[in-house]
Structure 1
């Protein structure tokens, strides 16, 4: 396979998911492990809301609702929480999952780069 074809293939694979909708994890549990994936709308973000007792809620949410006052209204049964809203696919995963996905992405990038140089 010639070098320009390889570079074109890498570019195509890197941009393939740009037109797709945002995907977020959707669950409410104490374990931090979540495998349910939800497709969001174009005006959504991914929410990860952690209750003081250890329960974490993950789901799509309107980006404009990502503030403390609005979340307090949306989750009246939750007395104390921290939250994070983000806008990349599956970014509301647990911190351990994010680290492993980042490392895997780094390894794949290195392999693809190495293959293009050969």
Structure 2
């Protein structure tokens, strides 16, 4: 009897975790620096909308609305954009720039080459 009560208690606590909401960045910026954080609803995702040649919008959106046509309807002033949706806390942060990844890759390649030559 005690074991079944314990198992039920663990099960209920686990279910409570599944319904928890995520946190997303919420801002409109050009530089990729965003510090405002918002608590979203349990069925939300974080979205980043990249306006061509312009701003980046970050906020909560219903996960089911993570479709290009729906986002275009919700943001009618943005004519050309790319977007990404994600479902973990603060996952809509600014991406690491490609140039910094390239520099690290080049330096690592040079170090391995140098080490192999010596």
TM bin (shorter chain): 0.5 to 0.7
State the TM-score, normalized to the length of structure 2. Answer: 0.64
Task: Find the aligned partners of 1:35 and 1:18 in 2 and give their Cα distance.
Answer: 26
Shift of 1:21: 2.5
Report the equivalent of 1:29.
29
Runs of 4+ off more than 2 Å? 17-21
Which of the two has higher C-alpha Rg?
2
1:54-73 to 2 correspondences below 5 Å? 54-73=54-73
1:31-56, CA deviations, whole angstroms, 9 ceiling, x for partnerless residues?
11000000000000000000002310
> What do you get for the CA RMSD once the two structures are aligned?
1.9
**1:19 to partner: Cα distance:** 7.2
Asked if structure 1 preserves the Cα contact closer than 8 Å seen for 2:46 and 2:91, the reply is: yes
Indicate the residue corresponding to 1:85 in structure 2: 85
Give the secondary structure class of the aligned counterpart of 2:42. Answer: coil
Could you tell me which runs of 5 or more consecutive residues in structure 2 were left unpaired when the two chains were aligned.
Answer: 1-16, 98-118
Aligned to 2:4: none
Which residue in 1 is equivalent to 2:6?
A: none
TM norm structure 1: 0.64
How many residues end up aligned between the 2 structures?
81
SS at match of 2:91: coil
Unaligned runs of 5+ in 1: 1-16, 98-118
